[in-house]
Amino acid sequence: MLKMWVEITHRQAAKDDFFLSELEACLVPGTLLELGAGVGQLARKLQERGYDVVASDLEPFFVEHMKALGLKALVIDAIDVAAGTDRTFDNIYTQGVSPIVQKNLSRTLKTYESASRALRVGGRFIVIHGGAYDRRYNRIRDHYPLFAQAGFRLIRHFRHQMLPSAWYRHLNTFVYTMIEGGLGRHMGLRNVLVLEKT
């Protein structure tokens, strides 16, 4: 199973490289926690750029893999971050972690509340929701009252990723910027919520 996820991240690498600069623009200075990091591809790239990153996942085999890559990694359940770490963070981000995207909105609320408790005031929670057109997942508009109830205010909401992941390796920065800065902002496959703890 691990091999399959590593292969998927190789296909997504070019898309992730482009997206990193957009993710960095959403962060506040300080520490980062990634929830549901899987094999840790984004956490590793951010660590290489000098960020103090803690990667996490609910599955211990993912955590062991990330530790073998030299990442600080913990077993953390997104609906109870405090049970997995005694730290608070300046930034938390997640790419489609299950309780955020599944249709069980009470678990989605618990995830927002859990992230809020693990963030410092003024900290950012960046939610990358990959289900813009997938009926298996909840709708992003249903998140608005939930994150507000958990003590977040919306800083920015944009769409991202117009093309299949593997296609991004054929683009240069100019073409990527034109695609994602135009249609991608309105029709992309992923919703990105940038939230601030109040």
Tell me the CA distances in angstroms from 93 to 28, 35, 127, one per residue in order: 12, 6, 6
- For the segment 98-118, what is each residue's pLDDT rounded down to a tens digit? 999 999 999 999 999 999 999
Higher pLDDT, 21 or 195: 195
Provide the β-strand partners of residue 129. 191
- For the segment 154-185, what is each residue's pLDDT rounded down to a tens digit? 999 999 898 888 888 888 888 888 888 888 88
H-only helix segments in 143-183? 143-149, 173-181
pTM over 0.75: yes
Boundaries of every domain in the chain: 2-197
The yes-or-no verdict on residue 64 having pLDDT over 90 is: yes
Assigned CATH topology for domain 2-197 = Rossmann fold (3.40.50)
Q: What are the DSSP E strand ranges found in 15-144?
A: 32-35, 53-57, 72-75, 89-95, 119-129
